[in-house]
Amino acid sequence: MPSAIRIAEAVVDELLKQARADSGRECCGLLGGTEGLISRAYPAANASPNPATSYEIAPTDLFRLMREIRVAGLSLLGIYHSHPNGMNEPSRNDLQRATYPDAAYFIISPSDTAPRPVRAFSIHDGIATEVEILRW
């Protein structure tokens, strides 16, 4: 994964809006784009039994969203979720469950005072490396 990823400003705005809409639950979804530019968010329902502190995309939603991304002629470039009650850095659970090594993992903070409310990470073998976000 490159050290930076491009994302449309409208997508960043959408991620923040989703995270702030229900700040007591983690929002989640997929990010699609082409040629290294994320151009669309694909929101998913959080199917986790504990949505205040974790997220899970149900397999049926995951397959449906992956199909939507392909039909749109896009590629999966990222996965996102929010951390409503903590820092927007990967949790131990996030590190253990990261199974798409070519995707950037975006973590959103709904807090208006967060210094960087949207951050992205490359996660390989349980190790996270922050990826610079280039807003387009």
CATH number of the CATH domain containing 28: 3.40.140.10
Task: Classify burial at 52, counting beta carbons within 10 Å of its beta carbon; exposed 0-12, middle 13-18, buried 19 or more.
Answer: exposed
Give the bridge partners for 105, in sequence order. 79, 121
Let me know if residue 58 belongs to a domain. Answer: yes
Let me know if residue 37 belongs to a domain. Answer: yes
Sign of CA dihedral 34, 37, 40, 45: positive
pLDDT tens for 98-112 read 989 899 999 999 988
Let me know if residue 57 belongs to a domain. Answer: yes
Let me know if residue 6 belongs to a domain. Answer: no
- The token pair that represents 3 in the structure block: 């050290």
In total, the chain counts a number of residues equal to 136
Let me know if residue 8 belongs to a domain. Answer: no
Q: How many domains are there within the chain? A: 1
The whole domain housing 35 covers 21-122
pLDDT tens for 24-78 read 899 999 999 999 899 999 999 999 999 988 999 999 999 999 999 999 999 999 9
**Predicted TM-score (pTM) of this structure:** 0.93
Let me know if residue 100 belongs to a domain. Answer: yes
